[in-house]
Structures are given as structure tokens and as C-alpha cells.
Amino acid sequence: MPPDSITNPPSADSLELSASEREALGGAALGWVLKYFNEASAPPVYPTVGAAQLSALVDEALPQDAQPVAAVLEQFAMLASFGRNNGHPRMFGYVQSSGSFAGVAADFLTSAFNQNVTSWRSAPSATAVEHQVIDWMKAMSGFDREAGGILLSGGSLANFAALAVALRASTDVDVNQLGVGALPGKPRIYASAMTHMSIPKAAAMLGIGRDAVHLVPVDAEFRMDVGALRTQIASDRAAGHHPVCVVGNAGEVNTGAIDPLHDIAEVCAEQRVWFHIDGSYGGFAARAPRAAPALAAIGRADSLSLDPHKWLFAPLDAGCLLVRDPRHLKRAFTHGAAYVDVIADRDMSEFAFWDHGPELSRRFRALKIWFILKCHGARAITAAIDDNIAVAQTLAAAIDASPDFERLAPVPLSIVCFRYAPARLRGQRDTLNALNRTLMVDVQREGEAYLSNAMIGDDFALRACIVNYRTTAADMRVLLETIRRVAARTA
């Protein structure tokens, strides 16, 4: 066929919007984003909508033909109005951060730039930026400067990858080839009774099994009992078991408790066991004056999970794993295959992220972190974290001073666990549990504030997590007034 008779099939151009269409769609999307940020503090925090109603709103046959982009955007705006407003200053549910505009702008650029950050060869500049960002993560958390690291989707994946690394580092057996059945003894992982669910889940996914996770008891402040840890590891070794790692909390998910990291590091050194710290929530507080002393030993860990989509205010998703000796990352994840062989031309061009983590195709997650840290500076981020802790302490003090509220846990970071407990109901656990369960849902329905919950022993706690640079002490007053108002109505 002569070259000039090769023509485009008629449909090939239809995925290319014209320059003016791109401008119109991009401008409208930006307009929505700007409005969303301008109105971040407007209620409701949570929409009143039923699941069936929402399903009906999105129910539509597969669109075969193009719809006007204005109509598509309008439908998105309607659906967005039925989302939870995570940027709202009184969104206190879970460890859910507000995000930030610099991160959003970077995410837009990330999608447009569409780099596949598998390796230096595939994405030279993005790989360089991720290495830079990993270095900044070490500096912010006080982790070893020589460490290796990788960005992942979140804290759960970082914990999963950390346990995979610790497992390989715990033995000369080639676990990748032979599986965990070839280990010399039953694998054991040690974590506090408050550990995040991602730890037993990781044990299950690694084939070690959830039963392999020994939950070490905690003290009255929900911190790991290090004496019990030491005794357990020694008796497991005597029984022929195979200790894999100890997981310490740098801010556990229920109360924000920080385990005695220095003492755990000592036990791990004595017993030659890998020390992993789950800093998904609290790791970035390491430089915040109100938390720094309790987090000073972070640098002693063999590995550290961080979650930039929490206290670095990055939009979802962005997690991070740091490993003090980078060779252990490679030992766990290198998996030669012909189609991914790196052309060996030395230095950075040989570098491949697939040798350092579970993913092959990877989004350019580093860009939003790079933007946030450059647009605001680490000092401002650290100050915002410290402010969040101060605001949480304000709430704790207000609760302690109120006859109708009761605090259920210490406040080492920015989580406050408490309950509505008027004098006439004090001591009636079942009644208080039922009342506070109802209150949590009713407060969510009101849309003025959003709380989640935790079980503190047998007590149902309302749990306020403050991970938002917009939240102030005034929001704490509104929160307590809202709960009182809803309680009066419930009564």
C-alpha cells in the first residue's frame, strides 16, 4: 500500500478534544476546585443521603455516545455535594487529613504529565524527584539519612511492605523462592494490642497468618509493655519459634499512643529482631515541639511507615516506607524477569522502583509532596501539626472541665477519646455506650461536625481526630455545644 493511502480510521480523532474544548473543560474543573476550597468551611460536613437514593442518581446504562462535557461536570458537582467534606474544619472522623491546594494542583499536573514511575529509564525526572522527596521524608521524621525508601499508596501498604522486608531480613532462607513453609520455626510478629488492623492483615497476606501476630499488652496509657515484649520474645525463641519483627506505634490509631520507642529499640537490639515503626499517623510529628520528645527514637528503627496523605496534608493517595539499610528493600522485592531487565548503563539509569516495592506501574506520587513542601516549607507543616496537637489539648482541657463530658484516654497527639456522660448516668457503662453510639450517628446526621469512634476497653468513645490545618479552638467549642444540643434532643 503506498504511504499516502494510509489514512486515519474515522474514530481515531474522537478522543482528542479540541483546544477550545480542553480550555472549557479544564477551566470548568478548576472553577469547581476553587469554589470547593473557598467553601471548605461551609456545612454540612456530611450529607444527608440514603444509599438507594445515591445509587439511583448514578444509575445509567454504559454511555455509548459522547455527552456534553458541561453536563458531565454538572453531574459530578451534584455527586460531590453528596460526599463527606474532608476539608471541613470540624471533620474529626478517622485519621483523615484535609488535603491542601498545593497538593491538588500537583495532582492535576501529575495526571497530565502521566509518568509511569517504574524506573529512571521510564521516568527520569520523576524518579529524581521521588528520590529527593524520600530524602525529605527522612529529614522530617528524623530517620537515618542513608536509608532507602519508596512511595506507596498508604500506611497499610507501607506496613505490608515493611513486614515483607522484615521477613526476608530475618533469615538466610530464600523465602521468595521457597515460601514461609521453609522457615526454621513458626514466624512471630510482635505488636501492641492497639496496633492498626493493617498489621494482622499484612501477616495474613504474607501467608504467615494472623495468629502469628502476638499482641503485647499495653499500660494505662495504651503504650506497649516492653517487659512483656522482652519475656515473650525470649520464650518464643526457647520454644523454637522464629521472631520476625516488632512493630512499634508512633501514634496508634485509636488514641494516638506512642510506644516507648527507645526501650523497644533496646529489646530489638538485644534480641536481634527487626524493629518496624508504624508512623502512618504520628511520624511527621517528630519535629513538632509538643510531640518531639516522645518520638525522638524514631531513627533507631529498621523501617518506618509514613503517610503523607495524613499529616503532610497531601491529597490521597500517598504512603511511604523508609528502610534503614536499602539492601533489605531489594532483597524483598527484586524479581528478575526478562521484560523488565534494566539496560545496564550504570548509576541512576539502572535504578528501578520495581526492585524496591510491590508495584510495577506507579503514579508520580512524589510530585504533590514536592509541591507541598516547596510551596509551604517544612517549618509551616510542622507548625500546623503542632497547632493540631495544641487544639486537641484544648478540647481535652474543656472536656476535663465539663461536668457532662468524660475523657477516656490521654492525648499524646491530636486524637481525643471521650464521651458524653452527664452526672445522672455516670457509672452506667451500658447506658453510656448506647447513648454515645446514638450521639455519634446523630451528630454526623446534623452535619455540623463529624466524629468517629473507638472502644477504650469496654467503653464506647467518641473519637475526635484533628488532622486539618483549618481547625481551631473555636471548632472545639462548636463540637461540644453540638453534642450537648443533639443529646438534649435525644433525651
Ligand X SMILES: Cc1ncc(COP(=O)(O)O)c(C=O)c1O
- Note the residues at the interface with ligand X (CB under 6 A): 95, 154-156, 159, 196, 198, 251-253, 278, 280-281, 307, 319
| DSSP-derived 3-state class of residue 219 | coil
Q: Positive or negative CA dihedral for 107, 105, 308, 330? A: positive
β-pairing, 213-216 with 187-192? parallel
**373 vs 153: CA distance, rounded Å:** 19
Query: Which residue number, 331 or 363, has a Cβ lying nearer to ligand X?
Result: 363
Q: 99 vs 155, which CB is nearer to ligand X?
A: 155
- Look at residue 286 and give its three-state secondary structure: helix
Between 101 and 281, name the residue whose CB sits nearer to ligand X. Answer: 281
Distance of closest approach, residue 312 Cβ to ligand X, in angstroms: 12
Please say which residue, 165 or 352, places its beta carbon nearer to ligand X: 165
- Minimum separation from the CB atom of position 358 to ligand X (A): 14
- Give the whole-angstrom CA distance, residue 318 versus residue 366: 8
- What is the distance between the alpha carbons of residues 168 and 330, in angstroms, rounded to a whole number? 10
Peptide bond into 317 cis (omega under 30): yes
Compare residues 221 and 481 and give the one whose CB is closer to ligand X: 221
Between CA 194 and CA 328 the distance in angstroms is 27
For 358-472, strand residue ranges (E) read 405-407, 415-420, 452-456, 459-465
Residue for cell digits 453534642? Answer: 483
How far apart are alpha carbons 211 and 98 in whole angstroms? 36
Which CB atom, from 251 or from 357, has the smaller least distance to ligand X?
251
Contact indicator for 381, 284 with CB cutoff of 8 Å: yes
3-state secondary structure of 418: strand
Nearer to ligand X by Cβ, of 158 and 487: the residue is 158
DSSP 8-state assignment for residue 91: B
CA–CA dist 54, 84 (Å, integer) = 13
Least gap, CB of 159 to ligand X (angstroms): 6
Enumerate helices (H) and strands (E) in the chain, giving the number of each.
15, 11
Task: Answer yes or no: are the C-beta atoms of 129 and 370 closer than 8 Å.
Answer: yes
Nearest-approach distance from CB 24 to ligand X, in angstroms: 35
Question: Of 130 and 252, which CB lies nearer to ligand X in the complex structure?
Answer: 252
Q: How far apart are CA 207 and CA 117, in angstroms?
A: 28
For 393, the 3-state DSSP assignment is helix
Q: Which is nearer to ligand X, 155 or 260 (CB)?
A: 155
In the chain, the amino acid numbered 207 is G
Q: Which is nearer to ligand X, 253 or 392 (CB)?
A: 253
How far apart are CB 250 and ligand X at their closest, in Å? 8
Q: Among candidates 123, 100, 125, which has minimal Cα distance to 312?
A: 100
What is the smallest separation between the CB atom of 473 and ligand X, expressed in angstroms? 24
Query: What's the min distance (Å) between Cβ of 274 and ligand X?
Result: 17
Find the shortest distance in angstroms from Cβ 52 to ligand X.
28
To ligand X, the closest distance from the beta carbon of 282 in angstroms equals 7
User: What is the nearest approach in angstroms of ligand X to the Cβ of residue 305?
Assistant: 7
- Give the distance from CA 134 to its chain's centroid: 16
- Of 92, 129, 268, the residue nearest 190 (C-alpha): 268
**Residue in 315, 307, 300, 302 with CA at minimum distance from that of residue 279:** 307
Nearest distance from C-beta of residue 59 to ligand X, angstroms? 29
| Nearest to ligand X of 99, 319 (CB atom) | 319
